[in-house]
Amino acid sequence: MKKQLFAYALTISQLFVFAQIPEGTALFNRDGSTVEYSTLVDRLKDAQIVLFGELHGIEATHELEQNIAKSLFNAKGDKLILGGEMWEFDQQVIVNEYKNKLINHKQFVADARLWPNYSKDYRGFIDVARENNLDFIATNIPRRYASVVYHNGPDALLKFEKSTRKSLPKLPFTFDKDLPIYADIAEQVGGHGSENLAAAQAIKDATMAKYILDNTKKKNLFFHIHGEYHSKEFQGIYNYIKQEKGKWDVVSISSVMQEEIDKLEDDHYARADFIFVVKAIKEDSTIESEEPSEE
């Protein structure tokens, strides 16, 4: 009887797993081969860090983030850690208060400096941690410090008090200006201030990497969500993590849009370990990033 119940539970679990890719999307590996959701989860559960690069405001990417978080909890239990770009490290106290059910959602929203699309797109993700008593880490740099870098350069951070400096990546802060994601920013902006804008992007990436690493132990799995640009082509956060922990198993997922989703476009090959493809929206539709700017 016990064996029958176990087999029945396993069958239900398998059906649940196979239902987790949102409708109108597709999943590929870095070589362009189609991947099942169960194969994705099997790979992710054995990693130490998973970096999910999302498309801000696209419902399917947020749905998949939540599905993966739930599947990884089923696989890892309390060894799973969640976190994301949308929460800044000086919000950790209030994040803990909400996650530990010491304050309610209304109080959390009132005090936590959340993104405008938080309730629609991210509440479900943090609530996976709240409902299952998982650690949830606010990883991003507070926007005021990123703004200082943008306006005055990274050396301006040296003027802050010691306790603040200890919370940031190693100072004085330097970054690889030739790394394509930063070189592209400087090129697109051009002229005065372009290098500082790239530095502001880099210090976000370095900060998120720092807080991921500071909160990951060998037996844990940290599942982190952020804008796709922050880890695409194994750069950004991914690069900073590998600089510190070159042997750690880090798996990346990138979200992209295509007109057709049955085949991975050439430009998207090797963008990440897994590429999540969402069918492109109509040209007259607009999706705005909710990521705060440096202005």
Domain boundaries, the chain: 32-253
**pLDDT at residue 12, as a whole number:** 41
- DSSP-derived letter for residue 141 is P
Please, what CATH class does the domain formed by 32-253 belong to?
alpha beta
Is 101 a residue whose pLDDT tops 50?
yes
CA–CA distance, 159 with 161 (Å, rounded to integer): 7
Average pLDDT estimate for 12-22: 56
| Whole-number pLDDT of residue 188 | 83
pLDDT at 11: 41
pLDDT of 193? 59
Please report the pLDDT score of residue 192 as a whole number. Answer: 57
- pLDDT over 80 (residue 252): yes
What is the pLDDT confidence band of residue 191, given thresholds at 50, 70 and 90? low
Quick one: pLDDT band at residue 38, thresholds 50, 70, 90?
very high
Stated pTM of the model: 0.90
According to the model, what pLDDT value does residue 288 have? 38
Mean pLDDT of 167-180: 96
Mean pLDDT to the nearest integer, 2-21:
47
The per-residue DSSP string of 162-192 comes to HHHHHTSSSSS----TTSHHHHHHHHHH-ST
Contacts of 99 (CB under 8 A, 6+ apart): 126, 129, 130, 134, 136
Confidence of residue 284 (pLDDT cuts 50, 70, 90): very low
The answer to whether the bond into 169 is cis (omega within 30° of 0) is no
Strands 274-279 and 25-29: antiparallel
The pLDDT, as a whole number, for residue 178 is 93
Question: Within its chain, how far is the Cα of 28 from the centroid?
Answer: 18
pLDDT at position 281: 75
Check whether 274 has a pLDDT greater than 90: yes
Measured between alpha carbons, how far is 23 from 269 in angstroms, rounded to an integer?
Answer: 22
Question: Given this model, what pLDDT does residue 190 score?
Answer: 72
Q: What average pLDDT does range 51-80 have in this prediction?
A: 97
Q: Give the residue-averaged pLDDT of 31-52.
A: 97
Cα separation, 153 vs 144, whole angstroms: 13
pLDDT at position 144 is 97
Evaluate whether 215 touches 137 at the Cβ level (below 8 Å).
Answer: yes
Task: Average the pLDDT over 22-40 and give the result.
Answer: 96
pLDDT of amino acid 10: 43
pLDDT-derived band at 189 (thresholds 50, 70, 90) equals confident
Residue 111: CB partners within 8 Å, gap ≥ 6? 94
Q: What is the mean pLDDT of residues 238-253?
A: 97
Section 4-24 average pLDDT: 54
pLDDT in tens, 115-171: 999 999 999 999 999 999 999 999 999 999 999 999 999 999 999 999 999 999 999
Task: Output phi, psi for 39, to 5 deg.
Answer: -65, -40
